[in-house]
A and B are shown apart, each in its own frame.
Chain A
Amino acid sequence: MQASRASDRLLQIYLGVFLVYLFLPLVIMAAATFNTSRFPTVTPWLGTTTRWFEALYNDAGMWVALENSFIIGFFVILVSVPLGVAAAVVLNGVHARARSLLYAVMVSPLLTPGVIIGISTLVFWDRLGVKGGLHLAVIGQSSFITAYVMLMVLARLQRFDTSLEEAALDLGASHGQVFRRILAPHLKPAILSGAVLAFFQSFENYNTTLFTRGTDTTLTIYIASKVRTGLTPAVNALGLILILVTVVGAVAYEVMRRRESARERAALRNAERADMEALQIA
């Protein structure tokens, strides 16, 4: 027992060091935003300022890049969410052998390096006469983001009671009604979180966008090019803002997911209780 406690202690110390390692770089990057030094650093500290936020605000290039990222993100949701839902439903409805092959093809973009997705999209559309630009970035990103949405919807579909659809059809519901009134409401949480994830993945994408963007600039491309040419703490200011937005977004997303699963468990408990009561009455 003695040995085990000593090793647990060691593990705890290691964990502490690990957490410092994980967060200190981000803290230093954020802190450098407030240094008056023209080169972003914390050593030496030349004085505290907020003027880099102002510099960022006045940078027209940043606003263009931000707008482009939003446009791409919006269209990626528009493309990948319907395709992801359709893919999950189709995958769930085909025979086992076809399913495993189709599944392998569908998840393959998740294992494919982003640069290669970008290159293959670029070459393919170039041969059809389509040049790079925001539209091509949307297509390239959607090719793998659809797979994420598909997986999320598929996970939700597997907890779907198909006899509900049977019952509706038997009671004379139309196919459209079955889809709209039974399947869609069941899938709604997965569709919503899929859309959030799709936007996020698109917004932070670099590798695929790099090859498909043509001459357009997204926010990630903007940051990377600023670091190499014309780096000032304005980039840190942008980083700090993005980190804050991300953290708030991530926490909200986690809370949403947990609340959703809690609600589901509660619903399940109620259903079980109702079943028990029904049995007792019978």
Chain B
Amino acid sequence: MSELFRRYGTGMTLTMLAGVAVWVLAMVVLPYFVMVEYSFHPNLTVVEMGGPKDHYTLENYAALFRGVDLLHWDFPDDFRVFLRTMWGASLVTFICLLVCYPVAFYLAKVATPERTAFLLLILVIPFWINEILRTFSWYILLAYSGPLNIVLKALGIIDAPVRWLSGSAGVLIGMTYAFLLFMMFPLYNALETLDRNQIEAARDLGAPTWRIHWRVVIPHAKPGIAVGCIMVFVLAASSYVVPALLGSPGTRWFTETIYSWFFEAQNWPLGSAYAFILLGLCVAFILLMMRLFRVGLTDIAK
């Protein structure tokens, strides 16, 4: 710190410190704290705030779990949406990993450097295109009388058009497409550092292809897998636009529930509690991945 003052003088250093304080405190830390604090209050009118009814309560958190009946496997609506979000995001993460792994491996270890450079440039393009547009493109593709149904029918794979957009399929397909590249680049970065000789050595020693991947390539890709999974899971669990565009009332996502508590039911404390629960889910997943794959925070921020 004294180093800063010596270099840039008192005035400028204090200005910079003030700027950092504004960002870190007023824009990052305090809003979290206030949101969390708010979530422990009952939903009151402005007049009632600070009055006798204003006391701390766990009611908003309990609301998610109230009515959960494990015995009869019966869940209330919000909890069902929460489970769907958790399960759906995990599934999307896993599908992305499966789809991306061969491509990342090809780019990093099989293709010539010139070819890889060109392909990376091509792959970056959809990455830059807005998530909403990428989602919207599937809205057209998956429409009842849309191109996908017509092609599948012409190929004889299906007999009657499929209603993609009224089940979970549309949401899962759209999310996989929207977040795929957040898996691709971490995977590629990790695989790129793998020495080709290790693969050759394993092959020379007679290891079959699947074993080379299982014992050599995948262990090396661990940090990339962890980072990619974290990215995709967090994006999928907190996505609003994909379920809103490609889903139906029967495939509500937890973000949609939060939104309606805020702006339709006007119950902000409950919405805040649900938001904190969603954040907790993401943090739990991040910690799980960091533990499972032994990576640190600095690896992720890259």
Q: Quick check: A116 and B275 within 8 Å, CB to CB?
A: yes
Most buried by B among A3, A107, A206, A247: A206
- Cα A251 to Cα B273 in complex, Å, equals 42
| Residues of chain A lying within 8 A (CB to CB) of residue B131 | 204, 206
Q: Quick check: A206 and B132 within 8 Å, CB to CB?
A: yes
Partner of B31, one of A110, A123, A254: A123
| Residues of chain B lying within 8 A (CB to CB) of residue A90 | 4, 16-17, 20
Q: Quick check: B15 and A165 within 8 Å, CB to CB?
A: no
Chain A interface size range: 35 or more
Main DSSP-derived SS at the B contact region: helix
CB within 8 Å of A: which of B1-52?
1, 3-4, 6-9, 11-12, 15-17, 19-20, 22-24, 27-32, 34-35, 38
| Residues of chain A lying within 8 A (CB to CB) of residue B260 | none
Interface size in chain B (residues, C-beta < 8 A): 87
Contact A228 to B244, CB < 8 A, known contacts A15-B103, A207-B238: yes
| Residues of chain A lying within 8 A (CB to CB) of residue B31 | 117, 120-121, 123-124, 143
Name A126's closest neighbour in chain B (CB-CB): B268
Q: Quick check: B238 and A113 within 8 Å, CB to CB?
A: yes
- Cα A65 to Cα B15 in complex, Å, equals 35
Contact A151 to B301, CB < 8 A, known contacts A3-B209, A32-B140, A210-B259: yes
Does A11 sit at the interface, judged by CB under 8 A?
A: yes
Q: Quick check: A19 and B122 within 8 Å, CB to CB?
A: yes
User: How many residue-residue contacts, CB under 8 A, span A and B?
Assistant: 236
| Residues of chain B lying within 8 A (CB to CB) of residue A143 | 23, 27-28, 31
| Residues of chain A lying within 8 A (CB to CB) of residue B138 | 25
| Residues of chain A lying within 8 A (CB to CB) of residue B297 | 103-104, 107
Q: Quick check: A224 and B132 within 8 Å, CB to CB?
A: yes
Contact A111 to B300, CB < 8 A, known contacts A28-B141, A207-B238: yes
Does B186 sit at the interface, judged by CB under 8 A?
A: no
Contact A89 to B4, CB < 8 A, known contacts A124-B35, A142-B27: yes
- 11 A-B pairs within 8 Å (CB atoms) are namely A11-B102, A22-B126, A29-B136, A42-B147, A83-B23, A113-B238, A124-B31, A165-B7, A220-B130, A223-B132, A239-B137
Give the B-binding residues of A (Cβ under 8 A): 3-4, 7-8, 11-12, 14-15, 18-19, 21-23, 25-26, 28-29, 32, 39-43, 82-83, 86-87, 89-90, 93-95, 102-117, 119-124, 126-127, 139, 142-143, 146, 151, 165, 169, 174-176, 178-179, 200, 204, 206-207, 210-211, 220, 223-224, 227-228, 235-236, 239, 242-243, 246-247, 249-250, 254
Give the A-binding residues of B (Cβ under 8 A): 1, 3-4, 6-9, 11-12, 15-17, 19-20, 22-24, 27-32, 34-35, 38, 99, 102-103, 105-106, 110, 119, 121-126, 128-134, 136-141, 143, 145-147, 150, 177, 180, 203, 209, 230, 234-235, 237-241, 244-245, 255, 258-259, 262, 268, 271-272, 275, 278-279, 282, 286, 297-298, 300-301
